[in-house]
Amino acid sequence: MTKQLFILACTLLVMGCNKPENNYVVTEETSPEEAIQRGKYLVEVIGCSDCHSPKVFGEYGPTPDPARLLSGHPADLPIGTINKEVLQEWALFGPHNTAAAGLWGVSFAANLTPDPTGIGSWTFEQFQTAMTKGKFKGIEQARTLLPPMPWPNYARMTREDLEAVYAYLMSIPPVKNIVPTAIAPDAL
């Protein structure tokens, strides 16, 4: 019995030490600043910049470009030649990780900044539709978002977390960038 209590005590100690620093929940009583901070935390943890931010290449490899944070695939960045035969067995990503090619064709990461070329004119409801139903531009009748956008994972986010992410995205500097239109597989 003493050994079990010791193991329980150690487990509780370890669990207590591993509490996340950012353990608050966004509620109606949450201030706008707290919601934005929660949204920033969520955007960073779920890796939005991995695909939605162009990269700068330095000593330690590619990192998100702070000047173009979350602005999507650069409009002036060519995608190069894609071997359609390779796409039968592989998915390919461009060097900025903002373009992906696969059996679906070529998809480009969207501009998530509050610029009108991004999500600046979107309502929260459109943002929620895009994130939870996977609809392009948050429009119910639009096509489904293309891979690699993991919207089915985000569909399980709480409304409060989605509101926080939206608040954060609307608070970042706008970046004008018209992301290219997806390329259908038969157009490659």
pLDDT at 158 over 80: yes
Is 170 part of a structural domain of the chain? yes
Predicted local distance difference test score (pLDDT) of residue 27: 58
Within a domain: 87? yes
- 119 secondary structure, DSSP code: T
In a domain, 74, yes or no: yes
Per the domain annotation, does 17 fall within a domain?
A: no
Cα separation, 151 vs 146, in Å, equals 9
Structure confidence at residue 26 (pLDDT): 53
CA distances from 47 to 18, 71, 147, 152 (A): 21, 14, 15, 15
pLDDT of res. 23 = 44
**Residue 73, in any domain of the structure:** yes
* Residue 174 placed within a domain: yes
Which residues are CB-neighbours of 130 under 8 A, at least 6 positions away?
Answer: 122, 136, 137, 138, 145, 151
Q: Is the residue at 12 inside a domain?
A: no
Whether 4 is in a domain gets the answer: no
Domain count along the chain? 1
Task: Note down the domain range covering 99.
Answer: 25-187
How confident is the model over 156-180, as a mean pLDDT?
Answer: 97
For residues 82 and 89, is the Cβ–Cβ distance under 8 A?
no
Instruction: Give CA separation, 60 vs 56, 63, 88, 103, 121, in Å.
Output: 10, 8, 32, 31, 36
Q: What is the pLDDT of residues 36-78, one digit of tens each?
A: 999 999 999 999 999 999 999 999 899 999 999 999 999 999 9
Query: Distance between the two ends of the chain, CA-based, in angstroms?
Result: 67
Query: Identity (one letter) of the amino acid at 140?
Result: E
